[in-house]
Amino acid sequence: MAQNNNIDMCSGSLPRKMLLFALPLILSSVLQLLFNAADLIVVGRCVGDEALAAVGSTGALINLLTNLFIGLSVGANVLVARYIGARQDRDVEETVHTALLTSVISGIILAAVGVTFARPLLTLMDTPADVIDGASLYMRIYFLGMPIMMVYNFGSAILRAIGDTRGPLCYLAIAGCVNVAMNLAFVLVFGMGVEGVAYATVISQFISAYLVIGNLSKQNNACRFSFSKLRIHAKKLAAIARIGLPAGLQGCIFSISNVLIQSSINSFGKLAVSGNSAGVNIEGFIYVSMNAWHHTTLSFVGQNYGAGRYDRIRKSLRWGLLFVFLFGAGLDGIALLFKPQLIGIYTKDADAIAYGCARIGVICLLYFTCGIMDVIVGALRGIGFSLLPTLTSLLGVCGFRITWIYTYFRTHRSLKVLYASYPISWCITILLHGIVYFAWLRKNRERFRAQA
């Protein structure tokens, strides 16, 4: 049954259990990313670079619109993990049902905003004229499925909080196969373009969301889902928002800096957008592999904080940092060695491939530092700090990138200079987060000594 997949995070070997938790999460994230990769590969190789640019140019804007509400799912994850660690079953039940109803409401709001403002926002981003029609069509269809996407994200966050990452892996494997099959059918058989891959993505997301809700409905614990219990518990919503809104706002403001960067890339033309889109998608596979350690650290720290196991909090962060470095640096090396071949999967154009290689050549030199930054943030949010890491991230990442775009990039206008803003901002932010974490350690050193 579903509960057999759950991991006890408060006892036993931390490295073994963190690996058991993270590996299915990595595979799940990779499968989810394959939804978008399949879209890009099919339109890039079967329709053309214009369609590839249309689909790829929407990513930063989609993230900008969705990150606020996805941040709320982080709040649900932390709260459920903490209540489970403290064995407060009623609070777990109320949080689960509040979160799932919030996900539906969030999805409806996002659908309305995305469908209404897709084209005006793409216009503000200076999306090339030969790309904007396809990009706006893709976004409108994609956002029609947003309520489904939000249910999946919140449901998966709840499953992560109870230690189940294998269930979502199986569901995404099923949905991913459906997505690829429908992409090929809609584009090759029915002659559809970007609208075909958008419909395929929405249908596959519906399947994964349905299976996640089915898992929660079969739980034999306080996380068991029941339609009759769906309601908003004001105190739980406030607690979710207190943790999740800073995370969501951080994601939104991150996306603003990425939208500015995407707008700058758009000014280099269609082939630059096409090559950049392929490069971003390849980096995405590295990112989700590292980001799994963010979620792993967050869940382990959250449960142990709720259980009062302060000794395991520090150890969870140490193991998370070691694992994210090994995974990130290893995948960075692979991307750097095989960048022309990897970009060539998405597009046949030699100039677009060159643009994609230029991006990977800069970003992947130090991409593992992004993973280190996120793992520290996961630990801070697990112990209840949400606003402070948000503020340090905004200063170190967004503040630096925006300043870089309007100062150094303006006088040294090249894509490599633009891309250099990423690794520099990650290194600055690691230092800021480290200061916050060590300040918390000093404040709580007596608790650590008592459990030493």
In tens, the pLDDT along 182-228 reads 888 888 888 887 888 889 889 988 998 999 999 999 988 888 999 99
**Is position 443 within any domain?**
yes
Measure the CA–CA gap between 350 and 358, rounded to whole angstroms: 12
**Is position 8 within any domain?**
no
Is this prediction's pTM over 0.75? Answer: no
pLDDT at 451: 54
Which has the higher per-residue pLDDT, 202 or 398? 202
**Is position 7 within any domain?**
no
pLDDT tens digits, 273-289? 888 888 988 998 898 89
pLDDT at 370: 93
- Angle, to 10 degrees, between the axis of helix 270-306 and the axis of helix 368-382? 30
**Is position 111 within any domain?**
yes
Measure the CA–CA gap between 79 and 356, rounded to whole angstroms: 40
| Torsion angle of C-alpha atoms 111, 272, 44, 254, degrees rounded to 10 | -30
Mean pLDDT of 296-313: 87
Check if the beta carbon of residue 254 is closer than 8 Å to that of residue 397. yes
**Is position 3 within any domain?**
no
Mean pLDDT of 95-115: 94
Provide the pLDDT confidence category of residue 449 given band limits of 50, 70 and 90.
low
- Closest Cα to residue 39, out of 148, 147, 200, 204? 200
pLDDT at 191: 81
pLDDT tens digits, 37-69? 666 677 766 676 677 666 766 776 777 778 778
Structural domain boundaries, residue 22:
13-450
Provide the pLDDT confidence category of residue 26 given band limits of 50, 70 and 90.
confident
pLDDT at 46: 66
Q: Is 264 a residue whose pLDDT tops 60?
A: yes
Domain count, the chain: 1
**Is position 2 within any domain?**
no
pLDDT at 17: 92
Listed ranges 61-70, 161-170, 209-218, 388-397; the one with the highest mean pLDDT: 209-218
pLDDT at 3: 44
Mean pLDDT of the chain: 85
**Is position 219 within any domain?**
yes
**Is position 410 within any domain?**
yes
How large a percentage of the chain has pLDDT more than 90? 35
Measure the CA–CA gap between 169 and 238, rounded to whole angstroms: 30
